[in-house]
Structure formats: C-alpha cells, structure tokens
Amino acid sequence: MTVLAKATTYAIDGVHARRVTVEVDIRRGLPSFCVVGLPDTAVRESRERVRAAMLNEEFEFPQRRITVNLAPADLQKAGPAFDLAIAGALLAASGQIPSDQLDRLALVGELSLDGGLRGVRGSLAIAEAARRDGTTALVLPFDNATEASLVSELAVLPVRRLSDLARACAGEVPPFEADQARAEYAAEGPDLKDMRGHRFSQRALEIAAAGGHNVLFSGPPGCGKTMLARRLPSILPELTGDEALEVTRLQSIAGHAAPRGLACRRPFRAPHHTISAAGLVGGGSVPTPGEVTLATNGVLFLDELAEFSTRTLESLRQPLEDGSVTVTRSQRTHVFPARFMLVAATNPCPCGVGGERCRCTPNEVARYARRLSGPLLDRFDIHCSVERPTASEVEAGPVTCSEEVRVRVGAARAIQAKRLAGTGAHCNGQLDGSQARRILEPVARVRQQLGDAYRRGTLTLRGYDRALRVARTIADLDGHAQIGEAHMAEALAFRVAEGGGEA
Ligand SMILES: Nc1ncnc2c1ncn2[C@@H]1O[C@H](COP(=O)(O)OP(=O)(O)OP(=O)(O)O)[C@@H](O)[C@H]1O
Ligand SMILES: [Mg+2]
Ligand SMILES: [Zn+2]
C-alpha cells in the first residue's frame, strides 16, 4: 500500500521563480527518508529539519519508507526554502492535514528544528510567479509577508510555525494586509556639500547622473575621487515604481533585501578589486546574479580600476554594451538584467601623481595603461581628470549641495523620459549607437563639429555616439531643444583618448 500527496512550492531560477511540485510517496518497509530531483546539500538536509520540526510540533512522523520527489527534475533545487512544502506534503500523505485543502496553496519557508519558520530569499519573485500561475494563496514565513504582498491579486498567508499550516489549510489564517504607505524618499548618505573645489568634476558627476552616463575619474591620490563617486546616489532621481520592484526582486534573491517591503534607494554597489569575474557578472553552478545585476537601476562603482584583474574587467564589456548578462551553466542559459551606471576611479599612473611631476618611467606608465584596455576605456562616456583643489578653493567652502544638483538632474531626466518614451531607454546613456544617431540627430553645424573630431582620429565610432549622447544630456540640463556647439564642445572635452591626449 502506498500513499501519495503533493504540495506546490517555488524555486529561484536565475532572477525569477519557477513552480516546483513536491511529491511524497509513503510505503511499507524499513523506515527511511530520501529526497530526489536534483537537490543540493541544503535541500537534502531538509530531511533532518522536517523530521525534528514535525516531532516538536507534536505531529507524528511516519515510520515508513518515505520518498520525496521535487519536479521538474531538470531544475537545480538549492537552499532551505522547500522545507515547508516537504513537511506539508508529508502531513497530507500521513492524513494529518486535509490534502484537498493543500492543493489550493503554494508553500515556501525554511523550518527550524523547533518548528518555527524562517524567512527565505526571493519572496517577491516567488509571489510574482505564484500570481502568474494562478495560485490563490501563498503560505510563507511572517518575515517575508510585507515583501510578498507587493504583488496584488494574490492572498499572502503569513505563518510563524509549522502548526499554523493546519490553520492555513482550514482557512483560519487571514490574508496579510501590508501598510503600503511608501517611505518618504530621503536621500541619506554623504552630500556634495562636503566637497571643496572640484567645480569641473562635480559638473561631470552632474552630467553623468542626468543622462545615466558612465564616468571615469582619474587623478592623484587623496584628491577626492572616491569621495565624489560615493556622492553620486545623493543626486540621482528617486526610483520609479517599476524600478523599485525590480531592485527589490533582485536584492531579495541575493539575500540582502530591505527588511521591510519595497526598496526605496538606488543600489550603490562597490565591489573590492579582488572580486572574480563570476562575482562581478554572475555565475556559479546554480547561476546567481553578480554585482552588475545587483547594481541594476543604480550604480556600480569600481574604485582603483587598474587594480582589478584584466579578466574581470573584460567580463564587463558585454553587460555594458547590452544592459544584460548571459550566463550559461549545464545547458541552461540565464539572462540577467545589468542596467547600471558605471563609475570608476583610478590614478593616472603607478606613482599616482601623473602629469609633469610624475616619477614613473615611460615603461611603467605604458604597462599601467595597458591594464585598462582601450575597449573598456571607450565605454566611459565621460573621462574626468580630477585635480587637487587649490588652497583658496579649500577655504572658499562648498561649491554646491546635493539637493540643488538633484533638482537639475530630475528636470533633465524628465525631458529625456518624454523624448525616449517607447524606446525602452529611460535616459540618454541607455540609447544604443543606432538609436542615438537616429533620435539625437543634431543640427548640421554640430554634426560637422563632431565629424571633425572623428576625422582627427582620436574618437572611435563608439566614442562618436557617446559624445553625441553626452552633448544631448548637457543640452537637456540647459533646457535646450537643440544640441548647441557649446554643448558638443563640452561633451568632446570629456572624451580623452587612450594615453591621455584630448580628443
Ligand atoms: N575635494 C575635497 N574636498 C573635501 N575633502 C577632500 C577633498 N579631497 C579629498 N578630501 C579628503 O581626503 C580624503 C581622501 O579622499 P578620497 O579618498 O576621495 O581620495 P582619492 O582621490 O580617492 O584617493 P586615492 O587615489 O588614494 O584613492 C577624503 O576622505 C576627504 O577627507
Ligand atoms: Mg580612492
Ligand atoms: Zn607616475
């Protein structure tokens, strides 16, 4: 005689969730408990947690041959989030909860040995998938309820213990009602008013923020490059509703979601230069998103750019071009979003001083420049050399503050949103080359100015498109419908050819 029962749960698959059916088969024989269907170690260990939790919650643990199958078998199952569904199916198969009631529900959650439930990663993605599949109610740990309830038209039934599952099946757990009032946007974090001097560099930062352009700061040690970059979030516009959902989904899958509901700040990711290529762009046997994906809708900051390994930096080229990363593992291909602003800081040469007072040999400088390949440098729309502020600038106090700049950035972004509606891009920096040439068509005089710079040979074709986009952003900051010659001249001044000469 065998008994079968099923429960529905979800597995994180890349940056989304996929439905998994837990099947339990109980039959006579020597007591055993095995889990099949591509489980990782954490899933196999689920047996011990489920057994202890059931006993501690005063359920009966069947002394039979138990087989748990997780289907589909081709999907790698990772982590402890299947515990609740395995326990649920086991309870139904042993007649301790009604199986017809269980069929209406999807279950996720990690069990602790005493029967309590712990929060899981990716509950927003799980809730979205559950709604897509037409599930009526999702049972999950209390800690995940606020996040899951961001999805409308899905009943979220929060539970604290395994024994609450019986109550959920009996319809005794009321759906979770979140306090959906969005936190007031507060641009906390460091402010531009701390900066002394750097009128030019702060202008570069403002243009970068206004158009979503990649920016590279280069200058001597201690002049304020890291300081500038860390102030970028303080001048970026608030996340839109869709962007906030995407940020929340990604951060939750990576396990560092805001504890309560919707993300309200743009991500600012600053990985150390020892990071691997897989850490940066994503990978692993169960593909997990990397820093570029976590920086989506925000900023990826690479401090000390020349210290990153060449392989790591090369891995950035594709995501920078496409706005997404493709990770292939065991015949499955995942496409992760990777739309971020790249901000980097570097010293101009190994001694860090650069220019006339540089003490490096030409050989050392050349070797250093080679580490930062031409193709990567080409992907920075704005190259800004940061000078040491003069004594009088230091005494003069702040040049501006973040609030003031954020207002101008917001106005420029609003103009772009209107122009780019329907293109899939939100700001000039997200336009690809052909879109840029089509949508940002400048007047003849400006086109000639750009053509001259191209003919001088210091601009690549990518550089040409990038200069065009930056010029458009500068005109947007100015509130001009047409790109003027002054706008283009400023944009071209931010293109520095490999080796340090101006374009
Ligand atoms: N322009 C500035 N205005 C105010 N403080 C500054 C400025 N530049 C540097 N400082 C001070 O010097 C410290 C070092 O600056 P920061 O770390 O930004 O330098 P850096 O250019 O990144 O140097 P490195 O190349 O060594 O990384 C800052 O924490 C700040 O206290
Ligand atoms: Mg620094
Ligand atoms: Zn030097």
Question: How far, in Å, CA of 395 to CA of 223, rounded?
Answer: 15
Query: What local confidence, expressed as pLDDT, does residue 358 receive?
Result: 83
Task: Tell whether ligand 1 has an atom less than 6 A from the beta carbon of residue 225.
Answer: yes
Token pair of 338, please? 């990777």
CATH of domain 2-169: 3.30.230.10
Could you read off the pLDDT of 144-158 as tens digits, one per residue?
A: 999 999 998 899 999
**Shortest-distance ligand to the CA of residue 224:** 1
Distance of CA 232 to CAs 257, 263, 296, 298, Å? 21, 18, 15, 10
Where does CATH 3.40.50.300 sit in the chain? 192-417
Decide if pLDDT at 342 tops 50. Answer: yes
Ligand 1 atom 13: residue of nearest CA? 222
Q: What are the helix and strand counts (H, E) for the chain?
A: 22, 16
pLDDT one-digit tens code per residue, 28-62: 999 999 999 888 888 888 999 999 999 999 999 99
Q: Is 354 in the pocket of ligand 1 (CB under 6 A)?
A: no
The Cα 1–Cα 259 span in angstroms is 47
Ligand whose nearest atom lies closest to the CA of 228: 1
431-503 is a CATH 3.30.750 domain = no
CB 389 near ligand 1, within 6 Å: yes
CB-ligand 1 contact for 192 (6 Å cutoff) = no
Cβ atoms of residues 182 and 262 within 8 Å: yes
User: Ligand 1 pocket, 198 CB below 6 A?
Assistant: yes
**Residues, the chain, total?**
503
pLDDT, tens digit (0-9, with 9 covering 90-100), for 442-497: 888 888 988 888 888 778 888 888 899 999 999 999 999 999 999 999 999 988 64
In the numeric block, the tokens 């309560």 are attached to 260
Chain-centroid distance of CA 451 in Å reads 37
Average pLDDT over residues 13-41: 91
Pocket-testing residue among 218, 227, 347, ligand 1, by greatest number of atoms within 8 A of Cβ: 227
Topology of domain 192-417 in CATH is Rossmann fold (3.40.50)
Taking the CA of residue 196 as reference, the ligand 1 atom at the shortest distance is 3
Tell whether ligand 1 has an atom less than 6 A from the beta carbon of residue 347: yes
Mutate to test the pocket of ligand 1, among 192, 194, 223, 346 (most ligand atoms within 8 A of CB): 223
Q: Do residues 503 and 491 lie in contact, with contact meaning Cβ atoms separated by under 8 Å? A: no
- Mean pLDDT on 68-85: 90
Residues of the chain with CATH 3.30.230.10: 2-169
Report the separation in Å between the CA atom of 55 and the middle of ligand 3, taken as the mean of its atom positions: 68
User: For ligand 1, atom 27, which residue shows the shortest CA distance?
Assistant: 221
- Around Cβ 140, how many Cβ atoms within 10 Å? 29
* Residue 433 confidence (pLDDT): 81
Could you identify the residue written with the tokens 């074709």? 461
Strand blocks (E) in 282-424:
299-302, 324-329, 332-337, 341-346, 382-385
Q: Tens of pLDDT along 260-277?
A: 678 888 999 999 999 999
- Tell me the torsion sign for CA atoms 251, 257, 262, 266: negative
Which protein residues have their CB within 5 A of the ion that is ligand 2? 226
Q: At residue 501, does pLDDT exceed 50? A: no
Statement: residue 106 has pLDDT above 80: yes
- Closest ligand to Cα 355: 3
Q: Give the angle subtended at the CA of 154 by the CAs of 426 and 85, to the nearest 5°.
A: 115
Task: Tell the burial category of 500 from Cβ atoms under 10 Å away from its Cβ (0-12, 13-18, 19+).
Answer: middle
- How many angstroms separate the alpha carbon of residue 202 from the centre of ligand 1? 14
Ligand 1 lined by 226 (C-beta under 6 Å) = yes
